[in-house]
Amino acid sequence: MMEWMEKHFIPVAGKIGAQRHLVAIRDGFVSVIPLIIIGSFAILLNNFPLPNIDRYQAFMMGIFGENFTMFGGNIWDASYAILAVLVTMSISYHLARSYSVDGLSAAILSVSTLVMISPFTEDWGLSLAWTGSQGLFVALFNALIITELFRILVNSRFTIKMPQGVPDGVTKSFRSLVPFLIILIGVSLFQMFMTLVVETSVHELIFNWIQAPLLKLSNSLPAALIVVFFNHFLWFFGLHGTNIMSPVMEGVYLTASISNTELVQAGASIFSNELAIVTKAFFDAYVFMGGSGTTLALIAAIFIVSKTSHYRTVGKLGGPGAAFNINEPIMFGMPIVLNASLFIPFIIIPILLTVISYFAISLGFVAKTAVAIPWTTPPIISGFLVSGHWSGVVLQLFNLALATLIYIPFIKASEKAQEKIQQDQ
């Protein structure tokens, strides 16, 4: 079985993980994460999830004045409110660079076309309803399609070639002129068709037919289990499951996290059914504690029962990184990769924690995740930050304790297997 997987499955998974469009989506979202994190904390400042939000805001107004929410609101306007614009620019830049094409020109063009196909308000302002999380799917497709068209045209004969000696910046600008013109004409005709014939915007069409159903589907337990399973299954064979699944995590579940943050910004309760259960913060806070495989629990199990110097040394060296959810030293140092003794707990524990966390939140015992936080935020701290509620910390402690108990017998079995191998040698 292992040989068949290594021969047939792993090469395919590796190619998928290196596919340039998926890598561009991953890198594009990663580039804007600083703004997402800062924006989420600004929203948290304005709408701290306490049982009595009105009392909190009255308290803050008493200290900072009645306009205290303007501070966080300004940061929201510069981050969450224009997230689709930032994402289309970032993805386009990374995709163009992967082709060795001018990334800045591609990014500028993508922003231009996104604005062209976006709805405007009655006073000719760009509608922020579609420049935030609701417009992310259109922004993603816009970046991929426009960059591909730009790449094809800029490498064709439909360009203006400047003589030698002309500054590089001028050369790039004139080389992009005809491709820009052709693409803008095409997108303008497309927008006229959508407005005059279809009588709706591409944003509304994509949101109603693709984005909303996909987000609803992704918020289900089966979808969450599929994501968790493939993440860890790939890791076991030495492939970076987190990176390979990143387009799904960033494109779908980060979008769900952002939607939750915006709902809280609008006044929704952190226990409200309006908020999604399964988000990127859900996985980071309650499943990937210490990294994939909940390796923080594995380290705890090592220090509780392990007697071999190898395991304890790896635990000491990998512990500091695992506290910040960085677990490569554990993955390859024990190793977990291709270690049959640890295959079952490495796969089963994250699946079990996903089920427990899902039901704990859906039944109302634990608050929903409402804040996007850095994936390197240590457990316990992250449990409180993602929801602003103590119930998140309790769920983390329970999950860590359960995962540690499950790992213990497998650590013992793995040590016995290692001892037998050494004796045979």
Local confidence band at 416 (pLDDT 50, 70, 90 cut-offs): confident
Cα 9 from Cα 15, distance rounded (Å): 10
Share of the chain above pLDDT 90, in %: 34
For residue 196, the 8-state DSSP code is: I
Q: What is the CA angle 280-285-287, rounded to 5?
A: 85
Judge contact between 412 and 308, C-beta under 8 A. no
User: For residue 12, is pLDDT > 80?
Assistant: no
User: For residue 81, is pLDDT > 60?
Assistant: yes
pLDDT recorded at residue 421: 60
Angle of helix 136-154 relative to helix 83-98, nearest 10 degrees?
30
Give the distance, in angstroms, between the CA of residue 156 and the centroid of all CA atoms in the same chain.
35
Weakest mean pLDDT among 197-201, 218-222, 249-253: 249-253
pLDDT recorded at residue 49: 57
Please list the alpha-helical segments (H only) found in 78-167: 83-98, 103-117, 136-154
Cα 338 from Cα 211, distance rounded (Å): 37
Cis amide leading into 379 (omega within 30): no
pLDDT recorded at residue 1: 47
pTM: 0.74
User: For residue 52, is pLDDT > 60?
Assistant: no
Q: Within a 10 A sphere around the Cβ of 369, how many other Cβ atoms?
A: 33
Local confidence band at 11 (pLDDT 50, 70, 90 cut-offs): low
Token pair in block for residue 229: 């399973």
Local confidence band at 10 (pLDDT 50, 70, 90 cut-offs): low
Cα 19 from Cα 129, distance rounded (Å): 32
Local confidence band at 187 (pLDDT 50, 70, 90 cut-offs): very high
Local confidence band at 328 (pLDDT 50, 70, 90 cut-offs): confident
Residue 251: closest CA among 117, 87, 85, 110:
87
Token pair in block for residue 173: 């600008």
Which of helix, strand or coil describes residue 79? Answer: coil
Question: What's the pLDDT tens digit per position in 127-179?
Answer: 888 888 788 889 999 999 999 999 999 998 878 877 777 777 777 888 889 99
For residue 126, the 8-state DSSP code is: B
Angle of helix 136-154 relative to helix 168-193, nearest 10 degrees?
130
Which of helix, strand or coil describes residue 52? Answer: coil
The backbone torsions φ and ψ at residue 23, rounded to the nearest 5 degrees and listed phi first, read -65, -40
Question: What's the pLDDT tens digit per position in 228-239?
Answer: 998 898 888 777
Judge contact between 341 and 413, C-beta under 8 A. yes
Judge contact between 283 and 340, C-beta under 8 A. no
Q: Within a 10 A sphere around the Cβ of 375, how many other Cβ atoms?
A: 19
Cα 311 from Cα 408, distance rounded (Å): 13
Cα 20 from Cα 23, distance rounded (Å): 5
37 burial type by CB count under 10 A (0-12 exposed, 13-18 middle, 19+ buried):
middle
Across the chain, mean pLDDT equals: 85
Cα 380 from Cα 393, distance rounded (Å): 5
pLDDT recorded at residue 194: 92
Q: Would you mind telling me the total number of residues written for the chain in this entry?
A: 425
Residue 126: strand pairing partners: 120
